[in-house]
Amino acid sequence: MKQRDDQRDAPIVVAGLSKTYQVPEREGGFGAAVRSFVRRRYRDVHAVQEVSFTIGAGEVVGFLGPNGAGKTTTLKMLAGLLHPTGGSARVLGYTPWERNNDYLRTMTLVMGQRNRLSWDIPAADSFLLNQAIYRISDEDYRRTLGELDELLELSPIMRKPVRNLSLGERMKCELAAGLLHRPQVLFLDEPTIGLDITAQVRIRNFLQEYNRRTGATILLTSHYMADVTALCERIVMIHHGQLKYDGSIADLSRRIAPFKLVGLALHDGAAPDLSRYGTLLPNDDGDGKQRLQVPAADVAAVTTRLLSELPVLDLTIEDPPIEDVIERAFHE
Ligand SMILES: Nc1ncnc2c1ncn2[C@@H]1O[C@H](COP(=O)(O)OP(=O)(O)OP(=O)(O)O)[C@@H](O)[C@H]1O
């Protein structure tokens, strides 16, 4: 069914979305294996439970959660690969799992851990196949490939068989294959997984630029917080399939970790009792500084005292690492 009536509204609207998998269950041993042929028992795995969120046009949102939280299951439902057990979702006005061709031509799902390029042929050949599948005109194909080449530097790599590419080169080609049809909505599942820092930064910069140029809406999962802080102002967090947080990283940080870290280097020989100024943290940064955890509201007063009372060589004020904030939020 074609449903373009609410396209003016938010491109992604998820309401009470749920997915329960039925997993066959049996005990170990030969007897149990035989019995399971006769009567198979199933266990319910509630992978996604009544999750709701709305994503506006052009937003880049980080979708976070620990292993097994239900992120991939949610993305697969939104990409039309899985039917939910409950709730609804509308993406660009379509119900994803109805798999309307117009819908499939306007979104993409790129999974960092799955290959969709053929291993034995050059990516350039898979791109041509995608041109045919998505019915992209020659003119649009040339233009988009040109842009992707400019941003991802594909020319040196797209004519080699995919099996001969490095992980980072393959990921660039995977992204290009997923974007040739210029989707308006991108679901990205760990797009930088396994890449070295340089390649991660490249992909990150590319996604930023793609979003700026095309206004595409992006929902992405990543276990690298640097991806999330660089790309997303907003995060949606799930845990055990349930929505845990939806909002800005800064608000989460203020709520979960309302303190700052004051880094302090003192002149040689000075060894005062720093616990009078805040909570002294183990020094594991290797930068020779001691770190004090200080309530955000007291930072100005505490640093004034430190500077006037101690022989300070260097003093820094830092936000708590985002990894710590997210970790605390999951266990709140
Ligand atoms: N096809 C399946 N059949 C049965 N259970 C599944 C299936 N796919 C996922 N699950 C289970 O559903 C839950 C959510 O899995 P999902 O892959 O969506 O999590 P995730 O947040 O993407 O995790 P990760 O960060 O490890 O990739 C897990 O308990 C997982 O074991």
Q: Where are the domains of the chain?
A: 12-106+183-252, 257-330
Q: What is the pLDDT of residues 21-51, one digit of tens each?
A: 998 877 677 777 777 667 778 899 999 999 9
Within 8 A by CB and 6+ apart from 111, the residues are 72, 189, 190
Model pLDDT, residue 237: 95
Which protein residue's CA is at the shortest distance from atom 25 of ligand 1? 67
Residue nearest to atom 31 of ligand 1 (CA): 68
One-letter amino acid identity for 265?
Answer: A
Residues of the chain with pLDDT under 50: 1-7
Dihedrals φ, ψ of 144, to 5°?
A: -70, -40
Cα of 23 from ligand 1 centre, angstroms: 11
Distance 47 CA to ligand 1 centre (A): 6
Predicted TM-score (pTM) of this structure: 0.86
ipTM over 0.95: yes
Give whole-number Cα distances, 227 to 56, 104, 231, in Å.
20, 26, 6
Ligand 1 atom showing the smallest separation from residue 65 Cα = 21
Ligand 1 centroid – CA 183 distance (Å): 26
Structure tokens of 316? Answer: 């820094």
Hey, what CATH topology would domain 257-330 get? Alpha-Beta Plaits (3.30.70)
What single-letter amino acid sits at 84? Answer: P
State which fold the 12-106+183-252 domain adopts.
Rossmann fold (3.40.50)
Ligand 1 pocket, residues with Cβ under 6 angstroms:
21, 23, 45, 47, 65, 67-73
